[in-house]
Chain A
Amino acid sequence: MAIQGEFLKSEPYFSGLGEAGIEAVVRYVFEKRAVRGDILVFEGEPSQELYFVVEGVVKVFKTSADGKEQIFSIIRPGESFNDVPVLDDGANIFSAEAMGAVLLYGIRKKDMRAIIRENPQVAVNVVQVLSRRVQELVSLVEDLSFRHVTSRVAKMLVGYIGRGPDSVERPRLTQQEMAAMIGTAREMVGRSLKTLEGSGAIRIERNRIIIANQKVLREQAGLD
């Protein structure tokens, strides 16, 4: 399948590039496919490629010495991962795993540098993308430092408001994945879900968590 210039145009990295600029970038892009469970990037290994998710979902995570997983972000179509190590010449700071069938566009480190040299606008875009990454990480540090676990679970669920039963992308998460997302133990998630159910914010019907009262959920998340 040919690399889609239209997709790249909508990427923050390549915003403001004209047709010729995008065409020049396309020459450096390669396609990669993976299935659920495939590790796309290994933490600690020399960083080689920057990836854009075209189809599917990728989780970006770190694993502690005792095997506990901390999910840093869920990367959806249109988003990128492995930016920082590719740009700073270091090792991969996270691992990345396909959560289902995925289609990625990749750019090798040396090619990304060539693109930046050829297009000064891309350098400005890179600064903006990395600034957003810093904001996301500061937000995660705040969550890990200051929020009660129930609040963190509530805040995570608030992120799914608006994705109703007709939503194309119906999120499905295990308690282990939720725990990894918010930096706590799986057991704490189960306890917090029960607390939230008791407050009327959610209802649990077998394998469905139903957000029943957004107002209460937002209060529990400390957002209202």
Chain B
Amino acid sequence: MTSPTPPGVTDVFVRTAGLEGRPPPAGVRPSLMKSLFGDLATASATLLIGGVLLLSVPQLLAWGVTRGVWTGSADSCSGVGACWIFLQEKYPQILFGIYPPAEQWRPMLVVALFLAMALWTLAPRNWTRWTLLAWAIVTIAALLIMAGGVFGLPEVQTSDWGGLPITLLLTVLSVGLGFPLGVLLALGRQSSLRIPRLASIAIIEVVRAMPLLSILYVAAILLPIMLPDGVTIDKLLRAIVALTIFSAAYLAEVVRGGLQGVPGGQAEAARALGLSWAATTRLVVLPQAISKVIPPLTNTVVVIVKNTSLVLVVGLFDLLSSGRAALADPRWPGPYAETYLFVALIYFVICFGISRYAAWLEHHLSPRGSR
């Protein structure tokens, strides 16, 4: 610098006493009044939303609560209130479809088994190969309990299965089989080997280019044609195949995103230490890749749960279609809203549970010390 030093400023400085860290200045929260009516735009938005709520909520409460029918029989439901007694009487059929009522402890047991397994699996410390094995055993047991014909249980055709157990079975199987398949497809797509790469790309792109409905139709109609004469496969199994392939293609793309986010140096370091490709992938690359994509993975799983309701087009009675079937009883005045609210509540509990768990997991698994 050529300009002379301004008066009072020296260009040599040595600190003699260190400064203690101080707390940041306190933030000021605006008052409630100011947040709601602070300026013209806020005030009009408050009035508009408040008006809409004032007009709609009391009506809804009147329908659901004050005029709602909580006791009585089908005849009491002629009024303008919600017919909650319908749910009281029909919930076994909504939850378990046309499964023989005397045997409904079986689907109930299946739901309880899946719930117990899901709760056990929530804790990451339970993520062992034994838990994986337990899932496989419970899923097979669930199928046997539903089907019967073993342990002296009367046989029940899959066409008579329905409701929540179908939704849970389809979810568990399409995620449980689709996820490993999706990981393989993602690894295949990244592979330097030509044939696995091209095959993976072909499967992913073809499946993603088709709506799930058409895949379900293809599985339901074309699979029996493609099989040799005399070989039949169950309607439920066909739906599982379709949902699994569909889920795998979407999960593969999510996992691929995660794989691309793992720096190449990670695999190099593992290989340099002598780990094989398989060990490197399993122990070093995949754990990092998957924990990076928990949010989109959750999104895909929630979509898969809801997609299971589409199996109604191939004649399976999942939770939603069992609810519709229950509505067909001519003794009742058709309480659609009540039934759909009930079914929606169950889907909400499942999907919201998955989202909240995933959010916790994402936080829990993020390596300490990284941003």
Q: Do A and B truly interact?
A: no
Q: A residues bordering B, Cβ < 8 Å? A: none
Q: B residues bordering A, Cβ < 8 Å? A: none
